[in-house]
């Protein structure tokens, strides 16, 4: 990277600034704040971080480490001093345990504790042990000296798949056990690395944790439902639903509500922030949202089960939209305009709408 490299990991200044702009936008801050965020990221004294793993698949760490351009993981690892991370550290056994002990002692009251994975509580917590200590013991000991705790992933936030009924190990999330520390939940299976990065940057920039919702999630990332910004939303509004994987309605990109999409009840920014640096997320590639940021949905409701929502299809008074019937088709934006036109007509008391063609795939009214 030569002269361009600004951080130890070799991230170029251009990529660094791009990432700061993206993180600033995710935090809901004005564009002009990105310089302050970048300044804080560069000047921060690399706060010590202890990262514990319990009942989980390490997918959250993987998701973070596999992020591409710009390399979010390198930025994060540069901004913090990662003193202990069981799957990344070189040391093992007693050496690793000593490093955990030393870091907790040297940084008592100052380190950030990151937790990945659920914590089993049944039978005195014997179902997850590291270094001879139960997850409950490791967590409570590490939490005692932490300045704040960040849970990464749905398992650490709410218990995750381990806590699915009948929850044989009595798995819970960190907030169920630790009551006397500030805790930020970053749920998701896995969560978007940018949400973790933005939380760390917010802390470094403002020296405090971001505003949280009732489930302990940063409002800047989990304040809106996926459904509000989904690219398939015009299809939902027009009553066009995919009815089977791989059929014409699915290939046309229709709304996935009838395949079990949990987007209308899921608070997260996936439809805006997206994943893998190539602008994809599950719904964009044809899979319904599984509600992985919601404690009452993921692993509690079957993927194919339809959400009970008030009005899954629009009223008959909406103007029709004949997508894909002739010529090049109608874009989602055009569909939105048609809906808007219908709304205006409705406001004027005119009943311009006609019913959608009967029997056409994906156009039937919801039961």
Q: Is 128 annotated as a binding residue?
A: no
Q: Is 20 annotated as a binding residue?
A: no
According to the binding rule CB under 6 A, does residue 257 interact with ligand SF4? yes
According to the binding rule CB under 6 A, does residue 230 interact with ligand SF4? yes
According to the binding rule CB under 6 A, does residue 256 interact with ligand SF4? yes
Segment lying near ligand SF4 (by CB under 6 A), choices 41-49, 100-108, 123-131, 225-233: 225-233
CA separation, residue 367 to residues 34, 123, 234 (Å): 48, 45, 20
Burial track 340-359 (b if 16+ CB lie within 10 A, e otherwise): eebeebbeeeeeebeebeee
Binding to ligand SF4 in span 11-40, by CB under 6 A: none
Q: Which residues pair with 48 in a beta bridge?
A: 81
Cβ proximity to ligand SF4: between 80 and 255 the closer is 255
The DSSP secondary structure of 124-154, one letter per residue, reads GGTT-EETTEEHHHHHHHHHHTEEEEEEESH
Q: Is 155 annotated as a binding residue?
A: yes
According to the binding rule CB under 6 A, does residue 239 interact with ligand SF4? no
According to the binding rule CB under 6 A, does residue 258 interact with ligand SF4? no
At its nearest, how many Å lie between ligand SF4 and the CB of residue 256? Answer: 4
Q: Which residues pair with 267 in a beta bridge?
A: 225
Q: Report phi then psi at 70, rounded to 5.
A: -75, 160
Q: Site for ligand SF4 (CB under 6 A): which residue of 264, 291, 342, 362? A: 264
At its nearest, how many Å lie between ligand SF4 and the CB of residue 232? Answer: 4
According to the binding rule CB under 6 A, does residue 263 interact with ligand SF4? yes
At its nearest, how many Å lie between ligand SF4 and the CB of residue 266? Answer: 8
At its nearest, how many Å lie between ligand SF4 and the CB of residue 270? Answer: 9
112 membership: H or E segment, kind and range: strand 111-116
The DSSP call for residue 284 is G
Cβ proximity to ligand SF4: between 217 and 232 the closer is 232
At its nearest, how many Å lie between ligand SF4 and the CB of residue 226? Answer: 5
CA geometry: angle 75, 80, 86, nearest 5 deg = 100
Rounded Cα gap, residues 155 and 60, in angstroms: 10
What SS3 state is found at 280?
A: strand
According to the binding rule CB under 6 A, does residue 236 interact with ligand SF4? yes
What SS3 state is found at 262?
A: coil
Binding to ligand SF4 in span 176-195, by CB under 6 A: none
Q: Is 57 annotated as a binding residue?
A: yes
CA-based end-to-end distance of the chain: 59
Task: Yes or no: say if 115 and 151 are a contact pair by the CB < 8 Å rule.
Answer: yes
Give every CB contact of residue 157 below 8 A, 6+ residues apart in sequence. Answer: 151, 173, 174, 175, 185, 186, 187, 215, 216, 217, 295
Segment lying near ligand SF4 (by CB under 6 A), choices 136-144, 212-220, 250-258, 272-280: 250-258
At its nearest, how many Å lie between ligand SF4 and the CB of residue 261? Answer: 3
Burial bucket for residue 363 (CB in 10 Å: 0-12, 13-18, 19+): buried
According to the binding rule CB under 6 A, does residue 283 interact with ligand SF4? yes
Cβ proximity to ligand SF4: between 210 and 342 the closer is 342
The DSSP call for residue 116 is E
At its nearest, how many Å lie between ligand SF4 and the CB of residue 258? Answer: 9
Binding to ligand SF4 in span 285-344, by CB under 6 A: 289
Cβ proximity to ligand SF4: between 119 and 290 the closer is 290
Q: Is 227 annotated as a binding residue?
A: yes
Q: Which residues bind ligand SF4 (CB under 6 A)?
A: 226-227, 230, 232-233, 236, 255-257, 261, 263-264, 283, 289
Cite the annotated binding site for [3Fe-4S] cluster by residue number.
270, 289, 292
Q: Which residue ranges are tagged as binding site?
A: 57, 60, 155, 189, 227, 230, 255, 261, 270, 289, 292
């Amino acid at each position: 990277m030569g002269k361009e490299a600004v951080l130890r990991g070799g991230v170029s200044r251009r990529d660094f600034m791009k990432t700061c702009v993206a993180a600033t936008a995710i935090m809901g801050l004005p564009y002009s704040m990105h310089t302050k965020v970048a300044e804080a990221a560069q000047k921060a004294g690399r706060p010590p971080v202890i990262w514990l793993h319990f009942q989980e698949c390490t997918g959250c760490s993987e998701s973070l480490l596999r992020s591409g351009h710009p390399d979010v993981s390198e930025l994060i690892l540069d901004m913090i001093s990662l003193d202990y991370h069981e799957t990344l550290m070189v040391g093992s056994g007693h050496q690793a345990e000593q490093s955990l002990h030393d870091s907790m002692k040297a940084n008592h009251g100052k380190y950030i504790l990151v937790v990945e994975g659920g914590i089993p509580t049944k039978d005195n917590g014997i179902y997850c042990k590291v270094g001879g200590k139960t997850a409950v013991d490791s967590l409570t000991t590490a939490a005692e000296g932490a300045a704040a705790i960040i849970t990464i992933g749905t398992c650490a936030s709410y218990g995750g798949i381990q806590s699915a009924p009948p929850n044989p190990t009595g798995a819970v999330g960190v907030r169920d056990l630790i009551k006397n520390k500030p805790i930020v939940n970053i749920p998701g299976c896995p969560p978007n690395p940018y949400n973790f990065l933005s939380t760390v940057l917010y802390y470094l920039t403002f020296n405090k944790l971001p505003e949280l919702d009732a489930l302990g999630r940063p409002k800047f990332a989990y304040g809106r439902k996926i459904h509000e910004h989904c690219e398939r939303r015009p299809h939902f509004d027009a009553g066009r639903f995919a009815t089977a994987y791989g059929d014409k309605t699915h290939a046309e990109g229709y709304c996935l509500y009838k395949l079990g999409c949990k987007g209308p009840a899921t608070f997260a920014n996936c439809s805006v922030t997206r994943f893998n640096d190539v602008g994809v997320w599950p719904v964009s590639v044809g899979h319904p949202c599984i509600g992985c940021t919601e404690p009452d949905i993921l692993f509690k409701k079957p993927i194919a089960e339809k959400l009970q929502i008030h009005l899954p299809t629009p009223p008959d008074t909406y103007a029709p939209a004949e997508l894909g019937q002739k010529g090049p088709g109608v874009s989602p934006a055009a569909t939105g305009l048609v809906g808007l036109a219908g709304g205006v007509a409705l406001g004027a008391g005119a009943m311009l709408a006609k019913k959608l063609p009967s029997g056409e795939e994906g156009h039937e009214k919801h039961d």
